[in-house]
Amino acid sequence: MKDEEAKETKKAVGRAAKAEEKLRLLREEDAKLYRQHGLGLDTGNYQIVAVVTHKGRSADGGHYIGWVHAGGDDWLQCDDDIVTAVKYPDIEALAGGGDMDTAYICIYRKLEAVQL
């Protein structure tokens, strides 16, 4: 019985260490993405940070939704007064067609290389 408890404890510690490492990497990436501009070298690359979508067949009818990058792979879907946490694959799926959400306005942030 103690051997199984020790194995479960070891697995839990390993999962916690992996989760902590993933969180550290996401924070590091977000620190680079959301730092003040003009401190690095222009890379010519951009990263999407927000999207406005439209659901419906015409601009006169339908519904607009905002999607905002929250950090790492996490995004927020802002649909009127309802805010829902989503992941990046949901953003990639905003291809539209018929009554599906179509990316209408995309907002990007210029990426810069850190000067050494």
The chain-wide mean pLDDT, for the chain, equals 82
Cα(7)–Cα(30) distance, rounded to whole angstroms? 35
Cα(57)–Cα(36) distance, rounded to whole angstroms? 39
Q: What is the pTM of this model?
A: 0.61
For residue 77, pLDDT beyond 80: yes
Model confidence over 79-111: pLDDT tens digits? 989 999 999 888 888 776 666 778 889 999 888
Q: Where are the domains of the chain?
A: 1-33, 41-111
For residue 4, pLDDT beyond 90: no
Residue type at 33 in one-letter notation: L
Distance of CA 93 to the CA centre of its chain: 13
